[in-house]
Amino acid sequence: MSYSSKIISDTVDAFSSLPSIGKKSAMRLALHLAGDSFQKKEKLIQALQQLVNDLQICSECFSYSDTPICSICSNPTRDRGLICVVENIRDLIAIEDTGSYKGLYHVLGGVISPLEGIGPEDLEINTLVQRIQENNCNELVMALSPTIDGETTIFYINRLLKDVPLKITTIARGVSFGGDLEYADEFTLGRSIQSRLPYSQRQMS
Amino acid sequence: MSFQSIKSISLHNFRCFEKLELDFSDRLNIISGLNGTGKTSIIDAIYCLAFGKSYFVSKEQYLLRDDSHFLRLEGQFQNENDMEFIKLILEQGKSKRIEVNGVKRNKLIDHIGHIPIVCIAPSDIFLVVDSSITRRKLLDKLLCQIDNKYTSALYNYNRLLKQRNAVLKRQVQDRTLINTLDTQMESPATYIFEQRKHLLSHWLELFHPIHQRITGELEVCEFDYKSQLLSKTFHEGIAEAKEKDSILKRSNFGIHKDDIVFTIRQSELKNVASQGQIKSFLFALKMSMMHILKEKTKKTPILLLDDIFDKLDETRVLHVLDYVYTDVGSQIFITDTSSIRLENIVKKQNYSHQIIHL
Ligand SMILES: [Zn+2]
């Protein structure tokens, strides 16, 4: 596609580098933005600028945050004895959206898979263990995908924590949990996080 | 018991065929044509739809015709009154897609065993002469068709094994992670071992009378199951192998080391000189496999016979056909370079049949 303006062409390229945005959608967005009011464009630029300059990773739970400690971790009404372990921030948002969970989170950044070059040291596992040892945590809720690699990750963490007095539970499976928490509807996900199951493998290892 | 058949098939860019549509007889189908006309491709197409994988070609891209970018197979299957349309699409650079009545299969392993099928081909000789993996695959193929739990145990075991080997290949071998994987592997490994052991003894019982019928002689044959788990539990074995594994950087203990030794009158099949004897053994092996499939899936398995006269005389062919046609009651597909020999048999036996000339 050729444009009369290189600025438009650059904007289209920038948009089409985003996931699930093709050339056509990118062009639609660019043309739409070009025609928008100055204020609207300023707002977008400001949001993006903050995303680049000010967004941080929470040093407690490793979710995105505006401050060194995120708003969930610093909320005094949250149950500090309860930590929900998730693979990524999308899963955190899915659980948070149910409104049924009042504990804290820990974002691992994936699951263990040496085949894909992801070892325990590449994930926030040591920080999790440290966090549990330093704080009075009495329950760990594992909300990882029910794949064999997800299970390895749960087993592994379980092994590291075998001498720590702590209850480990998993969220009830069988929910529409086919790999992606994101797609589970809020009702089932909400119910499953309330009726989580004690982790039966704990004694095995 | 329900009768399983394929009514029709359509091939698009599959192996040597650009486009081909065929209707089949419910009982016996003779596919005749000179070498290179694609007889084997037709039975492989049926196998692909039923099993989700080719019987003859290991690299999937070779299933594509010349330089086409995609292939499509469609088959209409019937089981009693249920019609099923199975579609398989392979596109270059994309993962294979299987649909049953328009619904996509999420995983290939969900498809295995859906349509029971057995294929007999000259390449089966590799079961005798090749390394153990070919024989393990034979066992797995049958067990996966009759036991979903086995399929997922095997899938999990293989995944865990690959992960374990990947950990062993790392500069720093994470002991905790290896121990974790070992614990996870124990249950699938034990299940797979038990099922293989159980299946082989049952298989042998069914094998003997069929073997006798094909050869006309009663010969003592054995399927000798070799597994490290016969002498120790998985838990013990994997613990003992740990040091060796760590040095050699791969896993030396487990059901991935299993093998079967086939013997006939106490000598190993691969040392038996007569090609005819080996051939009869393999036929009886596959025939008894059909019996197990029928028994466990409650469906009559479809039989594909590639080049049946290869090293088998007319009398033996007749015994084989009679067993499958009459006793098992399966729908049969046979390829041959000329239809004359088969036509003679079929007419004499009064088999309901159809001949497809290529
Ligand atoms: Zn936080």
- Selected from 1.10.10.10, 1.10.8.420, 3.40.50.2300, 3.40.47.10, the CATH number assigned to the domain covering A6-54 reads 1.10.8.420
Residue A122, pLDDT score: 96
Our CA-based measurement puts residue B151 at a distance from the nearest CA of chain A, in whole angstroms, of 14
**Identity of the residue numbered B156:** N
Sequence-ordered strand ranges (E) for B63-132: 70-79, 82-91, 97-100, 103-104, 117-120
CA distance A25 to chain B (A): 24
What is the pTM (predicted TM-score) of this model? 0.86
The 10s digit of each residue's pLDDT in B282-328 is 999 999 999 999 999 999 999 999 987 776 788 888 888 888 999 89
Question: Would you call B179 and A159 a contact, using CB atoms and an 8 Å cutoff?
Answer: yes
Q: How far is the CA of A165 from the centre of ligand 1 (A)?
A: 23
Per-residue pLDDT tens digits for A149-181: 999 999 999 999 998 989 999 886 544 333 455
- Provide CATH 3.40.1360.10 ranges for chain A: 64-203
**Where residue A202 falls among pLDDT bands split at 50, 70, 90?**
very low
| Chain B residues lying within 8 Å of A149, measured CB to CB | 159, 163
Q: Which pLDDT does position A203 carry in this prediction?
A: 39
B156, closest residue in chain A (CA to CA): A148
Q: Cβ contact (<8 Å) for B163 and A120? A: no
pLDDT at B112: 87
CB contact under 8 A, B180 and A159: yes
Q: Which helix (H) or strand (E) holds A152?
A: helix A148-160
Q: Is the pLDDT of residue A188 over 80?
A: no
Show the tokens assigned to B267. 């000598």
Among chain A residues, CA nearest to B159: A148
pLDDT at residue A184, rounded to an integer = 52
Q: What pLDDT score does A175 carry?
A: 42
Nearest CB to A120 within list B166, B177, B184: B177
Chain B residues near residue A114 by CB distance under 8 angstroms: 163, 166-167, 170, 177
Instruction: With cut-offs at 50, 70 and 90, classify the pLDDT of residue A146.
Output: confident
Instruction: Give the pLDDT means over successive 10-residue stretches in chain B (358 positions).
Output: 95 95 96 90 96 91 91 95 94 91 88 92 91 94 93 94 96 95 96 98 95 87 96 97 96 97 92 85 94 94 89 82 91 90 89 92
Please answer yes or no on whether B184 and A151 come within 8 Å at the CB atom. Answer: yes
Tokens of B337: 């370079």
Taken in order B139, B145, B149, B152, is the CA torsion positive or negative? Answer: positive
A185 pLDDT exceeds 70? no
- Total beta-carbon pairs less than 8 A apart between chain A and chain B: 46
Residue A172: its pLDDT value, please?
62
Maximum CA pair distance of chain A?
69
CATH node for A64-203:
3.40.1360.10
The whole-number pLDDT of residue B315 equals: 84
Contacts of A113 in chain B (CB under 8 A): 163
Q: Where in chain A is the domain with CATH 1.10.8.420?
A: 6-54
Domains of chain B as residue ranges with CATH = 1-116+301-358 (3.40.50.300), 125-300 (1.20.1050.90)
ipTM: 0.81
φ, ψ at B212 (rounded to 5°): -65, -40
Q: What's the pLDDT tens digit per position in A67-89?
A: 999 999 999 999 999 999 999 99
Distance (Å) from the alpha carbon of B89 to chain A's nearest alpha carbon:
23
Torsion angle in degrees (nearest 10) through CA of B196, B202, B204, B209? -160
